[in-house]
Amino acid sequence: MGKIIVFAAPSGSGKSTIINKLLEEYSSLEFSISATSRAPRGEERHNVEYYFLTPEEFATKVAKGEFVEWEEVYKGSCYGTLASEVERIWAKDGIVVFDIDVKGAQNIKAKYGDDALTLFIMPPSVEELRSRLVSRATDSIEQIEKRIAKAEEEISYSSLFDKVVVNDNLNVALLECRAIINDLIAK
């Protein structure tokens, strides 16, 4: 079995920026593209950020047992990791990078144990998170409120993670992530 690094964080915590930067820096890291039943947002492309499926297509894959884990992260929106993604990346000797919700992260940890390292990116505060989501301007006010409520719930799971990195200053957070990844690679 290969190695896995799982990132989880409330949306707006800067997780995507951190993951994208690390993926650029480390050729051994490879992003596991999740499947989702939600519609693409902004510039998102099929097969790049997500495999965008209809709710029916998603349900069929669940029934066929094609997911390593899946969750209804937001009401009516399912997200899941396909077993084929993990196999594809391990076949190339890559370290699988997951960007999944807190429950999915715990499911991966339970399934892969010491082969998986779970890392929680913590926003400096809920107020800061709200202003980041507002300035991102991709969600309606109603969706932002939904994400804030979700964020508070997600933060309550942070103590279950192997590592927690606070993203107050991006460069400091990146330094901490690099140290964690270097340790994982050396293991």
Contact positions toward ligand 5GP, by CB under 6 A?
Answer: 11, 34, 38, 69, 71, 73, 79-81, 99-101, 104
**67-74/77-82 β-pairing:** antiparallel
Please identify the residue of the shown chain whose CB is closest to the bound ligand 5GP. 104
35: Cβ–Cβ under 8 A, 6 or more apart, which residues?
50, 51, 52, 53, 58, 61, 67, 70, 79, 80, 81, 82
CB of 47 or CB of 187, closer to ligand 5GP: 47
Least separation, in Å, of the C-beta of 171 and ligand 5GP? Answer: 23
> Strand order of the sheet with strand 29-31?
29-31, 95-99, 4-8, 116-122, 163-166
Least separation, in Å, of the C-beta of 186 and ligand 5GP? Answer: 27
Least separation, in Å, of the C-beta of 16 and ligand 5GP? Answer: 8
Burial class (CB in 10 A: 0-12, 13-18, 19+), 69: buried
CB of 38 or CB of 130, closer to ligand 5GP: 38
Tell me, what amino acid is at 68?
A: V
CB of 30 or CB of 101, closer to ligand 5GP: 101
Least separation, in Å, of the C-beta of 35 and ligand 5GP? Answer: 7
Give CA–CA dist 136/144, Å, rounded.
10
CB of 81 or CB of 118, closer to ligand 5GP: 81
Least separation, in Å, of the C-beta of 179 and ligand 5GP? Answer: 23
CB of 153 or CB of 182, closer to ligand 5GP: 153
Least separation, in Å, of the C-beta of 100 and ligand 5GP? Answer: 4
Tell me, what amino acid is at 99?
A: D
CB of 26 or CB of 157, closer to ligand 5GP: 157
Give CA–CA dist 86/101, Å, rounded.
17
Angle at 155 between CA 152 and CA 15, to 5 degrees: 105
